[in-house]
Amino acid sequence: MRVGIISFLHESNTFIDAPTTLDAFQRDGIFTGRAMYDHYSGGHHEVSGFLEGLMAAGIDALPIFHAGTTPSGRIAKATCDALMAQMFEQVAAAGEVDGYLVAPHGANSGAGDDYRDLDGYWLSRLRARVGPQKPMICTLDPHANLSPRMVAACDATIAYRSNPHLDQKQRGLEAASLMARTLNGEVKPTQAGAFPPIGINIERQLTSAPPCLPMCELADEMLREPGVLSNSILLGFPYSDVEEMGSAFVVVTDDDPARAQVLANRLADYLYAHRAEFVGEYIAIPDAVDRAMARKGPVCLLDMGDNVGGGSAGDGMAIARELHGRGTAPSFVCVFDPESQQRARDAGVGCRIALRIGGKTDELHGAALDAEVRVRSLHDGKFRESEVRHGGRTSFDMGPTAVVETDTQLAISLTSRRVVPVSLGLMTSCGLNPSAFQVIVAKGVHAPVAAYQPVCTALIRVDTPGATAADMRNFDYQFRRTPMYPFEEIEERDFENSIDQ
Tell me: pLDDT of 425 over 90: yes
Exposure string over 197-235, b if 16+ CB within 10 A, otherwise e? bbbbbbbbbbbeeebbeebeeebeebeeeeebbbbbbbb
Tell me: pLDDT of 423 over 80: yes
Length of the chain as a residue count = 501
Q: What is the mean pLDDT of the chain?
A: 96
| Domain ranges within the chain, ordered by starting residue | 2-278, 285-470
Helix H or strand E segment including 112:
none
The percentage of the chain sitting over the pLDDT mark of 90, rounded to a whole number, equals 94
Give the 3-state DSSP-derived string for 163-224, with helices as H, strands as E and coil as C. CCCCCHHHHHHHHHHHHHHHHCCCCCEEEEEECCCECCCHHHCCCCCCCHHHHHHHHHHHCC
Tell me: pLDDT of 377 over 70: yes
pLDDT, tens digit, for every residue of 123-145? 999 999 999 999 999 999 999 99
**Band of residue 498 on the pLDDT scale cut at 50, 70, 90:** low
Tell me: pLDDT of 501 over 60: no
**Band of residue 390 on the pLDDT scale cut at 50, 70, 90:** confident
The CB-based long-range contact list for 23-31 (8 Å cut-off, 24+ gap) reads: 24/69, 24/70, 24/72, 25/67, 25/68, 25/69, 25/79, 25/83, 27/69, 28/68, 28/69, 28/70, 29/66, 29/67, 29/68, 29/69, 30/66, 30/67, 30/83, 30/86, 31/63, 31/65, 31/66, 31/67
Q: Judging by DSSP bridges, how do beta strands 189-194 and 228-234 pair with one another?
A: unpaired
Res 91: pLDDT: 98
pLDDT, tens digit, for every residue of 214-248? 999 999 999 999 999 999 999 999 999 999 999 99
